[in-house]
Structure 1
Amino acid sequence: MKKSILILFLLSLCISCSSSKNSEEFINKAEGRYLFNANEVLEVYFKEQELYVKWRGRDDIKPLKVSEKSFYMKEMNEKMIFITEPTIQIKLAEKTEHKGVKYHFKKMAANEKTPHEYFANKEYKKALEGYLKIKTQDSLNPVIREYEINGIGYSYLREKEFEKAIEIFKINTVLHSNSSNTFDSLAEAYLSTKDTTNAIVNYKKALSINSENKGALRSLKKITK
């Protein structure tokens, strides 16, 4: 009796292990990078035919396989469903928390990057092009909010990564060219590198947009006295 139970247990264990495996056809279609949002990537890869995910700093997320094309990812608290026709994409199963709202993550082309990735590689022109594309498609996208980008710039300043701070502030001045604050921030970044010439140019630009920008007035007066 005990031997039979052991055999059944081992058999069920084998079935359980094999069920987490995926077909070569599915692997070939599903493996790759997906656009989680306009500036964030979710990457799907396979080890020994089992699906894994790289997302938000985690490289070893292993979702639970629910069916041939659906997986539950506890880190997201969502069931991901892979749609392979007509084009490969991931959709989230509908649930009460986002009932009526559809989430689809398209698979990215092999050479496709997000603005954040271009920026991290110091491809600043391509990063700007990416941000401008987002603005054209959705001017209210959180990724291009003025204060969000400004916050990134000041994070770089605190870390003394002055080149990145200047470049992200430059991008913000293009995205929000009517904002006095964006030019004020760029001027501050230049001043941090003792580039008073460019600091003055941008403080003056900030004041041309808003003559009552007290921070710009104070800083400009200080460096030109």
Structure 2
Amino acid sequence: MDQIIAIVDDEIKIRDMVRTFLENEGFKTVEAADGVEAVDIMDNDKVDLILLDVMMPRKDGLQALREIRLKHKHVPVIMLTAKTEEIDKLLGLEMGADDYITKPFSLRELAARIRAVLRRSSSNADILEADELLLRDEITINISTYEARLNDEILNLTPTEYKILVTLARKPGRVYSRLQLMNSAMGEEYVNYERSIDTHVSNLRKKIEKDPAHPKYIHTVYGIGYRFGDKK
């Protein structure tokens, strides 16, 4: 079945250009001109990935992302932005985006990013082939249902956050470098973005830790990376 990409951008020339290229690459597409239409598309259409522009009228991409994440936590989102400041990119990641690409961008690079994020999202269950259930104190991860719970409450994790959690929880105490986590959670295509793993880990801590500043589960190993602290 063809995968459906939602193209959300207020510039019709960009939507037309991206739509034509992606359809030639074998994807199906739906379109929206602003954040309001993006939320409507997600409520009414089956979408496999969202390309979401940041600067749009009525409702910008970050506002739309916040609403989309509340209802559709597993759908991957790639932010499209003309902003080059690092803080704007990190803000999108903090709000649940899986990746970002800065305008102007290469269409081939965009297609490669889309395939990488879709591959990462669809393969989340593959990293624990032999395990169906992980119990880590108050955290339970059910691989077969792609769910993580904290004290029996379902955690609203993005695909990247989920894969980071599973990677770390599989081997408590083992130290993973940022590059190792990036390869596991996002793939080798993202080796040059390894510092963004800190943002994903920070988001994850906010969701699973009672006190993110003094984490119980995900510990920083300074100068190296992270480890899962619970060894039960």
| TM-score using structure 1 length | 0.29
Q: Which has the higher contact order (CA 8 A, sep 6+)?
A: 2
Q: Select the structure of larger CA radius of gyration.
A: 1
| TM-score using structure 2 length | 0.28
